[in-house]
Amino acid sequence: MADGLGATRLGQIGEVTGDYRESGVRMLLGDDDWVIRRESGVDYGYNMTKCMFSAGNVNERRRMGEVVSQGEVVVDMFSGIGYYSLPVLIHSEAAHVHCCEWNPEAIGALKWNLKRNGVRENCTIHEGDNRQSSGVLKGVADRVILGLLPTSESSFGPSIEVLRESGGTIHVHGLANSDSHREWSEEVVRNFRRLDPSYEFTISDIVRVKSYAPKWDHLVLDIRVN
């Protein structure tokens, strides 16, 4: 097939697995697995056998570049190679983006991407488990992105801590049954309320990102915190 297409490299798609959400791609032809994906004016470089890239999340990546207002501080708790941080840095006028990430392969690609896209100055990388590394970010954020599937629940508590005392917005990714988007969203909000009853948590939007599996959707819940 590669001969027919004149391709020098061929990769076979595999399942994304583990705590690092590692790629299951296998090289069938050629050794160099570095790719640069150009999308909505952003260059995403990564080793495709090491880091995942979900093509289906294209609209959510674009949306993140559109929702951030001038001067906001954003904390991306599961930044990976910069899936959401890069559009924010490139397409919004955010004051600063803090990226938390624990996979060294993703951190390497993120550093390369910040340089490649010319946005290194406005970003700080916090290496390690976000439940610890976000400790230095208490009260700084106008907006927090929780972009981990199947759930980011173990970092709900830290995400409240990094928000400004006056509140802000949290974008929570998750998986919901196709006919239970509202129920899933209300359950997420109940979990936030249980963690910190002193804030008001209200649903401002429920965004369907893609179909994840038969009858299961990848959703993003936008929560306003006051």
134 binds ligand SAM (CB under 6 A): no
d(CA 96, CA 29): 41
**Local structure of 35: helix, strand or coil:** strand
Structural contact between residues 169 and 223, judged by C-beta atoms closer than 8 angstroms: yes
102 by DSSP, 3-state: which? coil
Asked if 46 interacts with ligand SAM (CB under 6 A), we say: no
Using CB under 6 A as the binding rule, whether residue 62 contacts ligand SAM is answered as: no
Residue nearest to ligand SAM (CB): 78
Q: Based on CB atoms, which residue is closest to ligand SAM, 116 or 131?
A: 131
| x/- map, 189-208, ligand SAM, by CB under 6 A | --------------------
Minimum CB–partner distance for residue 135 and ligand SAM (Å): 12
Interface characters, 65-94, with ligand SAM (x: CB under 6 A): -------------x-x--x-----------
- Give dist(CA 127, CA 166) in Å, integer: 27
| Binds ligand SAM by CB under 6 A, chosen from 147, 158, 168, 174 | 147
Spell out the residues 6+ positions from residue 73 whose beta carbon is closer than 8 angstroms to its own. 94, 95, 96, 97, 98, 140, 141, 142, 143
222 counts as binding ligand SAM under rule CB under 6 A? no
Two tokens, residue 114: 């910040």
Could you give phi then psi for residue 57, rounded to 5 degrees?
A: -90, 15
Nearer to ligand SAM, 51 or 225 (CB): 51
Tell me the closest approach of the beta carbon of residue 165 to ligand SAM, in angstroms: 24
Rg, the chain, Cα only:
18
Stretch that binds ligand SAM, among 38-46, 110-118, 129-137, 200-208 (CB under 6 A): 129-137
The H or E element containing residue 76 is strand 73-76
Site residues, ligand SAM (CB under 6 A): 19-21, 52, 54, 57, 78, 80, 83, 100-103, 106, 129-131, 147-149, 173
